[in-house]
Amino acid sequence: MLEKITNLAHEIIASEISDSSELEAFRLKYLSKKGIISELFDEFRNVPSELKREVGRKLNELKQNAQEKYNTYKGTIGAAEDRSGVNDLTRPAYPFPSGSRHPISIVRREIIDIFSRIGFVVSEGPEIEDDNHVFSKLNFAPEHPARDMQDTFYIYRNSVEDSNPDDILLRTHTSSVQVRVMEKQKPPIRTISPGRVFRNEAISARAHCIFHQIEGLYIDENVSFADLKQTLLYFARELYGKDIRIRLRPSYFPFTEPSAEMDVSCNLCGGKGCNVCKYTGWLEVLGCGMVHPNVLEACNIDSKKYTGFAFGMGIERAAMLKYQVNDLRLYFENDMRFLEQFRSAF
């Protein structure tokens, strides 16, 4: 038996394997259930007990060597024969999915691009703000309802009864960045400020407690309402298409005077009236106006010398109109089936 094993060991070492059929023959001959090594294990039962130890060790060694030889050749032969497939090092790489931008990012980048073409630069401010930048310096009266706990997430209030310029809160609009820019820069100022804002609202298809806005600010000598209107018309045409019409309705904001809201003609029904525009033919997209002299003065800008306009819009709102996706919650759920539908150059 020992002799048999030794001979077989030599035979295995000497056997040549050059392709997969020879490899398979090797496996059948030595390693399969009916192979030689298996037979030897059967014979092992008859080995006298004083030899069992040595024979057993040799037999196991033999099996291990055969298995190792098989494994080594399987690796190299398999790879060589697969050159045209997975192991072809000259094969171009498989493409991997590159993802897509979030619709809010697409629209934000598009709006920034539109305004940067007419000289607006991007500026940003903090999301955790003080009352001074969000309300006081924007000419909100101390008892203005927007400061109410029901709208504003407060982080620190000096007094439960009265508002205080030092109160710390989550900004409820990006208009706070206007103040930050005007405090630091001298006119001419031409800036847009995209960012997240927070309001204490119940979440529904039409409202969310977190959303995004873009604020615009233009301060220089002799800036007029006509400049505002023309800038907004340019913007609406670039974002919604050349055929879009705009209208400005008188409105009220503490930080602008006069103030207006801008509507664009409904891009679904072309202005004829449908359920999206509630049969008015118009959709409200932003608030705007001439910066209130009190706001300029609060930021140390001479309101006799300089005038300016400001505007603010919701990015979700712009995205809703552009993509006709009318449930706000979809923008926050990160459902891949929704997100994968947005592909864009931006």
Among the candidate windows 27-35, 240-248, 281-289, 338-346, which touches ligand DAH by CB under 6 A?
281-289
CB 248 within 8 A of CB 229: yes
Alpha-carbon span 176 to 125, nearest angstrom: 7
Helix axis angle, 2-14 to 49-81, nearest 10°: 10
Q: Which is nearer to ligand DAH, 30 or 311 (CB)?
A: 311
Among the candidate windows 9-17, 115-123, 284-292, 316-324, which touches ligand DAH by CB under 6 A?
284-292
Q: Tell me which residue has its CB nearest to ligand DAH.
A: 312
Instruction: Answer yes or no whether residue 173 interacts with ligand DAH by CB under 6 A.
Output: yes
- Contacting ligand DAH (CB under 6 A), which of 123, 139, 175, 191? 175
Which among 260, 265, 268 has a CA at the least distance from the CA of 236? 265
Q: Tokens 């040595």 identify what position? A: 54
Instruction: Answer yes or no whether residue 289 interacts with ligand DAH by CB under 6 A.
Output: yes
Here's the x/- map for ligand DAH, 236-265, by CB under 6 A: it reads as: -----------------x--x---------
Among the candidate windows 6-14, 45-53, 239-247, 307-315, which touches ligand DAH by CB under 6 A?
307-315
Which among 303, 295, 115, 137 has a CA at the least distance from the CA of 223? 303
Among the candidate windows 21-29, 41-49, 63-71, 282-290, which touches ligand DAH by CB under 6 A?
282-290
- Contacting ligand DAH (CB under 6 A), which of 287, 298, 317, 330? 287
For the stretch 260-267, contacts whose Cβ atoms lie closer than 8 Å and that sit 24 or more positions apart, written own/partner, are 260/287, 260/288, 260/289, 261/286, 261/287, 261/288, 262/232, 262/236, 262/286, 262/287, 262/288, 262/311, 264/236, 264/240, 264/321, 267/240, 267/241, 267/321
What are the start-end ranges of the E strands in 24-122?
121-122
Instruction: Answer yes or no whether residue 103 interacts with ligand DAH by CB under 6 A.
Output: no
List beta partners, residue 250.
Answer: 260
Instruction: Answer yes or no whether residue 152 interacts with ligand DAH by CB under 6 A.
Output: no
CB of 173 to ligand DAH, least distance (A): 3
What are the start-end ranges of the E strands in the chain?
121-122, 128-130, 154-156, 168-170, 189-198, 210-220, 246-253, 256-265, 282-291, 307-314
CB of 298 to ligand DAH, least distance (A): 15
Instruction: Answer yes or no whether residue 218 interacts with ligand DAH by CB under 6 A.
Output: no
Instruction: Answer yes or no whether residue 310 interacts with ligand DAH by CB under 6 A.
Output: yes
Instruction: Answer yes or no whether residue 120 interacts with ligand DAH by CB under 6 A.
Output: no
Binding stretches for ligand DAH (CB under 6 A): 173, 175, 215, 253, 256, 287-289, 310-312
